[in-house]
């Protein structure tokens, strides 16, 4: 069953529908907060009321201040030892001799009671910090925050006992305390726990509540026209954080879906219009058009994935690579507007889209100017520095406007972005193979006459080499006039006759007069025609063995189209041959279908024929060019070529102008007259 053939318009439409469907499917599943605001500017949207409860988040400055305050406040941790107090009280009571008088016995009873109360509350060592207001006391496996004023130190405990004895015995207090040696039995029963203190302090510093309070459903956040103050900005940031984290999951209504579809259609429409108005060949060339669409989808996928991972991570997507990839294959007039269209999804998908767009727009614009100057050797890494500097500058400019905070990780992501641009550039050679395109860098390499194939051509067939050089110059100039690819046609012209290396003396430009007579003298017209025709198939074989791009092979195959070897065909017919045997004299190529191939065919014929002119006057050159071009048109050799009559006229005038410059008149130098000896 044969598949139906579709017109180019239908194929283009189907491709765009497929891309649009893929974009819709890959659109991030999260609906991000899309309001834009900054401190000091009015709120230009509708009055915003909280649709749900959300916590008010502290700013980074507030968290930092609180952390510093916590770091300066160390709450010490003490272990309560009940055995210490019991042991000291028992020891004190045992120290009172049985022979002691009533005064000492009563005093000892008072001391023991006060010591019991003191040890119950806690006797703290002198190592406790003087400025400590509270400490943690662990008693019976429970830690309790206790004010220091409720505890005793040795001096305070002794003073308390001293006052109790003084109430009873007044003036004899000193002698009683000395006799009972009270102070020696006051030993701290709270011991400092350094390990636990450090652990608690560290936890207190590390864990700080990130919220200040709560905004409840229905509360006003900001009114239309209200100036966004620091407090309002903090409320909006808190609302955005909660919205993105919890309420951004796309339970999307139908109107939102329609909005996504309209955006996708708009972006693809702009992409299509850019192709149409800057380089229409891209739209009609399947390889070029599909390359652009695939590149767009590739970066769209990367943006969608990174957006779902996190807003800041989107900074790592190396959008400036688009500039390098498109610049490698297309004209500069197409590259910049195409890059702008590629960046449009940044304005709608990620929450920090405006900032991302500005950063990548600036970076890509600078790269478009810098890379042609810095694309060799170590200089390529200067682009990394330039890209990072431009990106960081634009990023920082947003913080100066007061609408964004600086995160050091963002600068790391921007640095990775700049590095990826240079690291990933060699992928252009893979894209060249996948889409059968030829990069400008590859064309530059192939146009170098020092490469092996061209050197071999210049040695084996020097006349053909000079002819190819002239054709390349004429064709390149003509392509510039009609906005075609001059670099491509130049390379095609340099290689279009490489098949002549296999049998150089068969062709007049490589012959002396004797060579010409000897080569074709004993051959029939059919044999001579076959030898000449063979340079097309030989050229294709040599080109493929030399790993030339297929697009260059097409120039070899089309530079004679399906024309005849007219000289030997006429000779054959004049000798009585059957005119119907035209196939034996016809080139086995195909008709050119691009502007560049058509220009090369015409330039090849015109340059070769111009060598036969005896007088290179303007009228002779004009007549020659007109007759050759008209014959190609009449023979249908340009019938499938994507070139208009207006463009053919421009090519015609360019050929005439170029040939007039090559064969311009030269002045005759006057001869020096000899003077007579007698003069």
Please indicate, yes or no, if residue 359 is contained in any of the structural domains.
Answer: yes
H helical segments located in 249-315: 254-278, 280-284, 286-309
Q: Which of 477, 318, 479 is nearest to 387 (CA)?
A: 318
Whether residue 531 is found in the same domain as residue 610: yes
Based on the domain organization, do 338 and 271 belong to the same domain? yes
User: Could you give phi then psi for residue 641, rounded to 5 degrees?
Assistant: -75, 140
Residues 138 and 240 in one domain: no
Residue that finishes a domain, picked among 412, 434, 456 = 434
Q: Are 32 and 208 in contact (CB under 8 A)?
A: no
pLDDT at 673: 64
Residue 668 domain flag: no
Domain range enclosing 242: 33-58+209-247
Judgement on whether residues 353 and 421 belong to the same structural domain of the protein:
yes
Question: Which of residues 434, 465, 486 is at a domain's end?
Answer: 434
Q: For 265-313, what is each residue's pLDDT tens digit?
A: 999 999 999 988 888 778 888 888 999 999 999 999 988 888 777 667 7
pLDDT digits (tens, 9 = 90+) for 15-31: 999 999 999 888 876 55
**Do residues 243 and 383 share a domain?**
no
Confirm whether 28 is domain-assigned.
no
Q: Could you tell me the pLDDT band of residue 611, with boundaries at 50, 70 and 90?
A: confident
Assess if residue 647 is contained within a domain: yes
If residue 340 lies in a helix (H) or strand (E), which one and from where to where? helix 332-343
Residue whose token pair is 């190529």: 589
pLDDT of 615? 82
CA-to-CA distance for 541 and 144, rounded, in angstroms? 92
Confidence of residue 653 (pLDDT cuts 50, 70, 90): very high
How much is the pLDDT for 524?
Answer: 86
Q: What's the DSSP call for residue 127?
A: T
Q: Is the torsion defined by CA of 639, 641, 642, 643 positive or negative?
A: negative
Within a domain: 203: no
Q: 254-278 vs 8-26: helix axis angle to the nearest 10?
A: 140
User: Looking at the 3D structure of the chain, how many domains does it have?
Assistant: 4
Same domain, 638 and 525: yes
Nearest to 93 by CA among 63, 124, 114: 114
pLDDT tens digits for range 614-643: 887 888 889 999 999 999 999 999 998 888
Cβ distance 272 to 13 under 8 Å? no
Pairwise CA distance, residues 416 & 386, whole Å: 13
Examine the domain organization and report whether 222 and 172 are in the same domain: no
Mean pLDDT, residues 120-139 taken together: 78
**679 in a domain, yes or no?**
no
pLDDT greater than 80 at residue 119: yes
Helices (H) and strands (E) in the chain, counts: 28, 8
Tokens of 107: 């005093």
> If you ran DSSP here, which 8-state letter would residue 246 be given?
I
Are residue 412 and residue 263 in the same domain, yes or no? Answer: yes
Helix (H) or strand (E) holding 440: helix 440-446
Main-chain phi, psi angles of 54, to 5 degrees: -150, 150
Give how far the C-alpha of residue 238 lies from the chain's centroid of Cα atoms, to the nearest Å: 30
Same domain for 453 and 595, yes or no, is yes
Looking at residue 2, what is its pLDDT?
A: 45
pLDDT band at 130 (very low <50, low <70, confident <90, very high): low
- Give the end of a domain, one of 388, 407, 434: 434
Q: What does the pLDDT look like over 547-581, one tens digit per residue?
A: 898 889 999 999 999 998 888 888 888 888 888 88
**384 CB-contact burial (10 Å; exposed 0-12 / middle 13-18 / buried 19+):** middle
Same domain, 233 and 316: no
| Mean predicted confidence (pLDDT) in 512-518 | 58
pLDDT digit string, tens, across residues 456-482? 999 999 999 999 999 999 999 999 899
According to DSSP, the residues that pair with 142 across neighbouring strands are 139
3-state secondary structure of 551: helix
Nearest 5°: the CA angle 588, 511, 463 is: 75
Kindly state the average pLDDT of the residues 493-521. 80
Do 88 and 156 lie in a common domain? Answer: yes
Cα dihedral angle (343, 306, 315, 292), rounded to 10 degrees?
-30
3 found inside a domain: no
Average pLDDT score over the chain: 84
Reported as a pLDDT band with limits 50, 70 and 90, residue 352 is confident
Q: Higher confidence at residue 68 or residue 440?
A: 440
In a domain, 376, yes or no: yes
Q: Is residue 551 located within the same domain as residue 451? A: yes
Q: Which of 550, 639, 552 is nearest to 596 (CA)?
A: 552
Sign of CA dihedral 211, 213, 217, 223: negative
pLDDT at position 534 over 60 = yes
Per-residue confidence (pLDDT) for residue 485, from 0 to 100 = 86
């Amino acid at each position: 069953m044969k598949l139906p053939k579709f017109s180019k318009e239908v194929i283009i439409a189907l491709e765009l529908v497929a891309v649009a469907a893929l974009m819709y499917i890959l659109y991030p599943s999260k609906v991000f907060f899309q309001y834009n605001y900054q401190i000091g500017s009015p709120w230009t949207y509708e009055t915003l009321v909280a649709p749900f409860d959300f916590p008010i988040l502290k700013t980074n400055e507030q968290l930092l201040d609180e952390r510093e305050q916590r770091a300066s406040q160390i709450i010490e941790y003490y272990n309560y030892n009940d055995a210490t107090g019991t042991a000291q009280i028992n020891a004190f009571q045992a120290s009172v001799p049985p022979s002691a008088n009533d005064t000492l016995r009563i005093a000892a009873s008072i001391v023991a009671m006060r010591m019991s109360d003191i040890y119950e509350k806690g006797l703290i060592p002198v190592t406790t910090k003087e400025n400590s207001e509270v400490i943690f006391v662990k008693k019976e496996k429970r830690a309790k925050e206790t004010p220091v004023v409720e505890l005793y130190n040795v001096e305070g405990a002794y003073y308390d006992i001293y006052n109790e004895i003084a109430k009873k015995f007044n003036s004899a207090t000193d002698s009683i305390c000395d006799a009972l040696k009270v102070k020696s039995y006051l030993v701290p029963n709270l011991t400092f726990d350094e390990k636990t203190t450090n652990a608690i302090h560290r936890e207190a510093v590390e864990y700080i509540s990130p919220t200040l309070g709560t905004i409840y459903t229905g509360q006003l956040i900001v009114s239309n026209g209200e100036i966004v103050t620091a407090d309002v900005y903090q409320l909006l940031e808190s609302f955005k954080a909660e919205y993105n984290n919890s309420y951004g999951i796309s339970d999307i209504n139908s109107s939102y879906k329609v909005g996504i579809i309209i955006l996708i259609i708009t972006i693809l429409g702009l992409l299509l219009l850019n192709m149409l108005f800057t380089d229409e060949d891209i739209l009609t060339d399947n390889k070029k058009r599909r390359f652009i669409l695939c590149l767009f989808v590739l970066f769209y996928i990367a943006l969608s994935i990174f957006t779902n991972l996190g807003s800041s991570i989107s900074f790592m997507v190396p959008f400036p690579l688009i500039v390098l990839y498109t610049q490698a294959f297309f004209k500069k007039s197409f590259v910049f507007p195409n890059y702008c269209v590629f960046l449009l999804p940044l304005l709608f998908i990620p929450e920090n889209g405006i900032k991302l767009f500005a950063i990548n727009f600036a970076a890509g614009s600078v790269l478009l100017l810098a890379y042609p100057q810095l694309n060799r050797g170590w200089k390529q890494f200067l682009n990394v520095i330039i890209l990072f500097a431009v990106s960081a500058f634009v990023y920082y400019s947003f913080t100066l406007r007061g609408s964004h905070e600086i995160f050091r990780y963002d600068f790391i992501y921007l640095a990775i972005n700049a590095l990826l641009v240079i690291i990933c550039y060699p992928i252009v050679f893979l894209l060249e193979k996948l889409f059968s395109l030829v990069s400008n860098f590859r064309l530059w390499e192939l146009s170098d006459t020092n490469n092996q194939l061209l050197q071999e051509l210049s040695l084996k067939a020097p006349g053909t080499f000079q002819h190819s050089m002239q054709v390349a110059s004429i064709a390149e100039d003509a392509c510039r006039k009609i906005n075609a690819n001059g670099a491509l046609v130049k390379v095609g012209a340099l290689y279009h006759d490489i098949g002549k290396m296999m049998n150089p003396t068969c062709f007049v430009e490589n012959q002396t007069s004797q060579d010409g007579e000897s080569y074709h003298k004993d051959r029939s017209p059919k044999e001579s025609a076959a030898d000449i025709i063979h340079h097309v198939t030989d050229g294709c074989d040599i080109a493929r063995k030399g790993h030339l791009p297929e697009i260059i092979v097409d120039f070899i195959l089309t530079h004679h189209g399906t024309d005849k070897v007219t000289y030997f065909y006429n000779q054959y017919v004049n000798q009585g041959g059957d005119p119907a045997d035209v196939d034996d004299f016809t080139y086995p190529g195909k008709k050119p279908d691009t502007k560049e191939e058509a220009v090369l065919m015409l330039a090849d014929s015109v340059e070769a024929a111009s060598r036969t002119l005896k007088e290179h006057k303007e009228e002779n050159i004009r007549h020659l060019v007109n007759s050759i071009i008209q014959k190609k048109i009449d023979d249908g050799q340009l019938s499938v070529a994507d070139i208009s009559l207006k463009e053919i006229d421009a090519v015609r005038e360019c050929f005439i102008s170029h040939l007039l410059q090559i064969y311009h008149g030269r002045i005759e130098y006057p001869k020096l007259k000899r003077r007579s000896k007698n003069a």
